[in-house]
Amino acid sequence: MVTDLKTIIFGLLITFKTGYGQDFGYDGNTGPDFWGLKYQGCNGGKLQSPIDIELNNVTEKEFPPLVFQHFDEPLETVKLENNGHTALLSIKQGKIPNVRGGPLNETYNFSQLHFHWGRTDDEGSENLVNNQSFPLELHMVLYNTKYGNFSNALYYDDGLTVLSFLYHKTIKQNQHYQKFERELPAVENLNATVDIIGFVSLDNFTTTDRNEYFTYKGSLTTPPCSEVVTWLEFINTIPLSHEQIQEFRFLSGARGKLNHNFRPAQARNDRSVYMNIPTLSSTASSSNDRSSSKLNAHSKNGRSSSGDLRSNCGVFVLLMFKYFYYIVN
């Protein structure tokens, strides 16, 4: 189904003309409350993102397994850039990762990934869980290959998927981010770019614990706010130290330091939010592939991950535990 073409074309013309567009921001008369004046798609849509995911208002559903290709291979050469709104990483040379399965009916190719953060470690993520924010959120944007490229995919309501990863703050630094953090100061200034050769795999940069996630139909969280996105919000979080998170706040935008860049949660309206909870048998083979953040959470807080994850009570307690344990660490 084709979306509102006038809305998308108008937004794309402005975006392409200005190089991701410097006519929107996160404060004052260029902030999210004013985006709708220039971008019709950001004003009054029924599928806008981000949202607040309420744990007592999700529908459990077991989707087919997600299949990730080239996520386990180091990236040959990537381009890191400051586009005035975020730190954005794209692949300049090498294999293009893709994903299929789960709620996705087609194969989606990697386009870029970027970040959202806040002034302090108590805020920053765009999607919320039970009205709780997280210090950082990574959005990995992929386009539906049946439309050929990212630009064409923006015209269709199944055109994009965003794989979203939330972060929790830890004392110990995440070693997989060392090269990224070394290069981040090189793009401190607006429109600065740097090439990075021999980047870590997307598996190492995010997490391989991707069996459990929320999914819903939504939009881009920046203008033109096109409602063409299938969101996957992964339950397992990524560890990062305060010092590593702080590096993002040194980036500069069109109006000075970009110390925050998150859109507030939008109305859920009558959308369904699903939570994929695989059967224990389907996840048993990957039990040794759990990330350290989940293991540390259970051991440090004296909690156990045993039991039927598909029971309503068990799921609620499990998710509350996973999402809030970083607050006390």
Q: What is the mean pLDDT of residues 257-265?
A: 97
Exposure on the CB side of residue 300, measured as CA atoms within 13 A: 14
pLDDT at 133 over 50: yes
The DSSP element (H or E) to which 108 belongs, if any, is: strand 104-117
Confidence label for 17 from pLDDT (cuts 50, 70 and 90): very low
Question: Above pLDDT 70, what percent of the chain?
Answer: 78
Picking from 186, 154, 319, 174, the residue whose alpha carbon sits closest to that of residue 251 is 186
d(CA 88, CA 246): 16
Q: Taking the CA atoms of 128, 134, 140 and 141 in sequence, report the sign of the dihedral they define.
A: positive
Higher pLDDT, 176 or 329: 176
139 neighbors 113 (Cβ within 8 angstroms): yes
| φ, ψ for residue 312, nearest 5 deg | -60, -45
d(CA 124, CA 116): 6
Whole-model pTM above 0.85?
A: no
Confidence label for 293 from pLDDT (cuts 50, 70 and 90): very low
pLDDT at 286 over 60: no
Q: Where are the domains of the chain?
A: 5-279
d(CA 156, CA 276): 24
pLDDT at 14 over 60: no
Which of 95-99, 151-155, 286-290 has the least mean pLDDT? 286-290
Please, what is the average pLDDT of the chain?
85
Which of 18-27, 79-88, 184-193 has the least mean pLDDT? 18-27
Which of 22-31, 79-88, 166-175, 194-203 has the least mean pLDDT? 22-31
Question: Above pLDDT 90, what percent of the chain?
Answer: 76
pLDDT of residue 2: 52
216 forms beta bridges with 231
pLDDT of residue 22: 57
pLDDT at 109 over 90: yes
Confidence label for 277 from pLDDT (cuts 50, 70 and 90): confident
CATH class of 5-279: alpha beta
pLDDT at 120 over 50: yes
| φ, ψ for residue 126, nearest 5 deg | -90, -55
Q: What is the mean pLDDT of residues 150-163?
A: 97
Q: Which residues are catalytic?
A: 85
Higher pLDDT, 308 or 172: 172
